[in-house]
Amino acid sequence: MRRTYLGEFEEVVLLTVAVLGNGAYGVAITDELEQQTGRSVSISAVHAALHRLEEKGMLSSRMGDATAERGGRRKRLFTVTVLGSRTLHDIRAVREQLWNSILPNTLPAISI
C-alpha cells in the first residue's frame, strides 16, 4: 500500500476530528483548532482540509439531523476512518522515535 503523507494542517485537523468524536463538523473543528493551537483558522481552510482527508480515505462524513440553531440546515459530521487512525498512530510513532533519538543536552536551552 502506498503511504499517504499529511501536512501539518491536515494532521491537526484529523487529530481534532478524533478529539471531537461524534460532534465533529466544520465550525466545531475550527473553534477547537483555534482553542488548542492559539492561532486563527479560517473555516474555508478547514473545509478544504476535510475534503482532502475524505478523498484520501482518512475521514468519512454523513449528514446530521436538521437543527433549529442552523435555520433547519443539516451539519456534515466527520469521523476518523481506520486508515486515518492508522496514519495518526504512524505519525505519532515516527515523532516519538525522533524525539527519543535526541541526545540529552543537544537542544539549546530555552527559558520560559
Residue range 16-21: mean pLDDT, rounded:
95
Helix (H) / strand (E) containing 74: strand 74-80
What is the phi/psi pair of residue 72, to 5°? 85, 0
pLDDT computed for residue 1 by the predictor: 46
What is the maximal distance between C-alpha atoms in the chain? 57
- Rounded to two decimals, what is the model's pTM? 0.83
pLDDT tens figures, 22-48: 889 999 999 999 999 999 999 999 999
Domains and CATH numbers, the chain: 8-95 (1.10.10.10)
- Classify the phi-psi angles of 48: left when phi > 0, otherwise alpha if psi is within -120 to 50, otherwise beta: alpha
Question: What SS3 class is residue 76?
Answer: strand
* pLDDT at residue 77 is higher than 90: yes
* pLDDT at residue 92 is higher than 50: yes
